Structure 1
């Protein structure tokens, strides 16, 4: 394998010394070819139109110290060697036009010469793979040394450096733990989602869309993403959060984009707006699906161009913010209905994460109970906890099919707060748990058995209006059947829940067949319910 070095001519360092005195000075491109343990077979030397004479001199000197090294000249006209965009473009053009043969040649990218801008560009092009090699750093020899200098070869594959890889892994673990609020969760889908979100939070400035039911923790997660990015130095501004359902009419435009004095009745002074406040920070728009179409159009431009026009103004202003959007709605359905812009959805769903409900990750109930108890202690100033029997009773209830946790973690937070407040001496007893279970059952039953919710469940499966032709009693039965089937992984599991008493009295417990018959009466397919 031949060794090929790619280097920029050092118009200062390679020019040092006049006449034979130049040999008394360290010159990086010449020194690079003087090492006994580093044979450079070919040097690709880059220089601009004004440095041909120096390039010829360096080539002659390399021929004296390393006659086996071929020097190939490349004219790259750096009109402004300190302009990042132009330098990067010229070096990218060189990389794309060069015929690399990594199967027969090893490449070293010399980053000692050239302006700091050029050195950074060489690094970035090497990291991105446009220059398929390793970095080469050279430096003068130590004092009183006869050596031609020193060099170091840097491999950008960080996985080869155990200490760095270990540190990255530790930071990743700390980041994911932070995003989970320090809660040791075990739901695999949730853990995988948070692990990816940690990487995206650190590495990307693109919008993030967080979906999921009300109470699943969208606001808390956005807060933690902001704090994590701020810790890592990715943000310097503040977190600005707003629930878009509270923004209506002129108030929406004014709140988001600001307004000029006199823009409308009551506008007695200029207002900067939330987007301006979020400059260099993070803007969290919860329930983004509630924004009007006009506000959506302005938001799209603000995301793409970082510019917008305050309400009542004729001049643009700017704000560089990162966006996290939250919603419990199906935005794709909103697009089909014409109430949400397709281009805005396409712009904000590059990174989309759906937070599961508490019911969907019920295996994480216990660590979240401990988290809520700790949060209560921090606010109330005293500790509260279950006795063993009370904890077991509460966990068994919370994990049972009847526990809907309809408000998700808000239900859990309120429940723990009530029990901890009533606990004499900080001990939550079985009596307190029984009282709380009764309260939750009443709440969930009144919410779930309302006629409107029953009709919503049925119409979502059979089509709008079908429930209106059914008696309330039939609606109750069908809605319960649909709900249990949706929560079950198989018809057999659904049958065990639905026929938990009668199945014990039968000699043959064909639960799947009984469920299939009930669904068939309404033309419902079990598999379609769970897609």
Structure 2
């Protein structure tokens, strides 16, 4: 293959005068054609019109020392060689207009000459493959050496550098580990999601939408994303958090966008607003579905234009923040009901991640128990642990169908905190675990009884007895934590099925649901929030 070099004329280093002494001085572009182990078949020389004489002189000298090298000169217009935008645009035009032939030619992009801005632009164009080649850098001879000096070829294909590739992979692993709070999780779907979140967090400034049930860890993940980006030097600003469910009326506008003095009754002084406080940082809007439509409209413009109008002001203010939004609601259903703006949802739904419930991650329960114990121990400066039998008993209950974990990881945190507080001598005993299991059963049963009628309102066509409500609500929770009707049936009929030579557990479940006009698919995807919308 032929070797083609693309090089900017060096107006200083390539210009060594016109007398014989120029041959005693190192010239970077000329030196490329003086190496025995680098045959340059063609040199594409880029220069400005005012340096025509230097370009012609360099061309003649190359023909003298390397007659096999063809020199082609290209006029370019760099009004300000230190203006990044204009330099990049001019070099991009050259690259897009050049007839590359990668099958028969290999290309080297010389990044020694020209301003630093020009060198950076050549690097970026090569990395983006507008210039489909490798970089070449030249350097002058060492002391007591004669010209031509030295050259080094740099390949930007990082996949060829095993050490770099392994280092990047390690950094991704460390980032994902950090986002999980250092917990060694085993749920494949959750781990795959976190790996992608790590990449998006580092590479993107676009909004991120975190969905999932209350207590699934949306707030914690948002905080860790912020800390990860801050560690990588991406955020000089602060993390600003707000629960949108606490914002109503003028208070919502004022809290988010700020206000001027006298904007409304009680506005006795200027308020900056949360969006302004998040400038050059991260804004986490939890329960974003609770925002009013007016606030949603202003938020959309603030996301797109980075500008907004404080309440009562006639002057805009600006804030460059990244948004993470959290919700346990179905925003698409809210759009259909006219409660959420479709354009705002489209804007914040670029990167959307559904966090699973604790019941969907039971294989990670052991690791999360250890995490909660460690967190409690650090907070209280006491070492807390389970007796072996006590831990086995707690895990057996925690993974059983009756453990509904209504508030997900909040329930787990509260449970471990109670047991650790009651542990004498730093050991959680079987007695402490038994008491905690009774407490959880009572709390979940009470929650089920209080909310059964409300939760099932969107499913049932006619009222049913409270007894049937409680029974059906429990069956629905089992269905929602099961992959199939057969799996749910095995959980629900775990005793009676052992007494049958062969059983169709899914059929028994389907028969039970059909009494209420329901099927497995309907209850599997049913949520309280979808019934309310």
- TM tier, smaller: over 0.9
Residue 309 of structure 1: CA displacement? 1.4
Maintained 8 Å contact 1:17/1:23: no
Taking the aligned partners of 1:48 and 1:514, their CA distance within structure 2 comes to 84
User: 1:467–1:380: structure 2 CA closer, same or farther, 3 Å change rule?
Assistant: farther
Taking the aligned partners of 1:194 and 1:280, their CA distance within structure 2 comes to 24
Deviations 1:416-474 (A, max 9, x none): 11001111111100000000000001111111233x43453462xx4xxx344333333
Structure 1 equivalent of residue 70 of structure 2: 70
Taking the aligned partners of 1:408 and 1:480, their CA distance within structure 2 comes to 16
Structure 2 equivalent of residue 125 of structure 1: 125
SS at match of 1:71: strand
1:508 aligns with 2:507: no
Alignment of 1:399-438 (within 5 A): 399-438=399-438
Name which of structure 1's ranges 360-369 and 12-21 shifts more when overlaid on structure 2: 12-21
Structure 2 equivalent of residue 489 of structure 1: 483
SS at match of 2:284: strand
SS at match of 2:151: strand
Taking the aligned partners of 1:274 and 1:53, their CA distance within structure 2 comes to 60
Deviations 1:4-62 (A, max 9, x none): 11111111211123422221221111111111111111111112222222221111111
Structure 1 equivalent of residue 162 of structure 2: 162
SS at match of 2:14: helix
Residue 332 of structure 1: CA displacement? 1.3
1:499 aligns with 2:493: yes
Taking the aligned partners of 1:521 and 1:215, their CA distance within structure 2 comes to 33
Residue 401 of structure 1: CA displacement? 0.8
Alignment of 1:196-235 (within 5 A): 196-235=196-235
Maintained 8 Å contact 1:455/1:475: no
Q: Which runs of 5+ in 2 are unaligned?
A: 526-533
Taking the aligned partners of 1:361 and 1:369, their CA distance within structure 2 comes to 13
SS at match of 2:34: coil
Name which of structure 1's ranges 228-237 and 10-19 shifts more when overlaid on structure 2: 10-19
Maintained 8 Å contact 2:25/2:147: no
Structure 1 equivalent of residue 100 of structure 2: 100
Maintained 8 Å contact 1:455/1:467: no
Maintained 8 Å contact 1:257/1:276: yes
Maintained 8 Å contact 2:215/2:410: yes
Maintained 8 Å contact 2:26/2:147: no
Maintained 8 Å contact 1:87/1:117: yes
Structure 2 equivalent of residue 265 of structure 1: 265
Structure 1 equivalent of residue 5 of structure 2: 5
User: 1:530–1:108: structure 2 CA closer, same or farther, 3 Å change rule?
Assistant: farther
Taking the aligned partners of 2:164 and 2:151, their CA distance within structure 1 comes to 21
Taking the aligned partners of 1:101 and 1:522, their CA distance within structure 2 comes to 70
Name which of structure 1's ranges 505-514 and 217-226 shifts more when overlaid on structure 2: 505-514
Residue 279 of structure 1: CA displacement? 1.3
Residue 476 of structure 1: CA displacement? 3.1
Structure 2 equivalent of residue 453 of structure 1: 452
Structure 2 equivalent of residue 45 of structure 1: 45
Maintained 8 Å contact 1:458/1:478: no
Alignment of 1:77-156 (within 5 A): 77-156=77-156
Name which of structure 1's ranges 400-409 and 157-166 shifts more when overlaid on structure 2: 157-166
Taking the aligned partners of 1:415 and 1:144, their CA distance within structure 2 comes to 76
User: 1:457–1:17: structure 2 CA closer, same or farther, 3 Å change rule?
Assistant: farther
Maintained 8 Å contact 1:455/1:468: no
Taking the aligned partners of 1:89 and 1:165, their CA distance within structure 2 comes to 31
Deviations 1:176-216 (A, max 9, x none): 11111111111111111111111111111111111111111
Taking the aligned partners of 1:301 and 1:109, their CA distance within structure 2 comes to 42
Taking the aligned partners of 1:197 and 1:133, their CA distance within structure 2 comes to 32
Alignment of 1:8-19 (within 5 A): 8-19=8-19
Taking the aligned partners of 2:515 and 2:49, their CA distance within structure 1 comes to 85
Residue 515 of structure 1: CA displacement? 2.4
Residue 400 of structure 1: CA displacement? 0.6
Q: Which runs of 5+ in 1 are unaligned?
A: none
Taking the aligned partners of 1:262 and 1:18, their CA distance within structure 2 comes to 75
Residue 257 of structure 1: CA displacement? 1.2
SS at match of 1:371: helix
Normalising to structure 1: TM-score of the pair?
Answer: 0.95
SS at match of 1:449: helix
Residue 394 of structure 1: CA displacement? 0.5
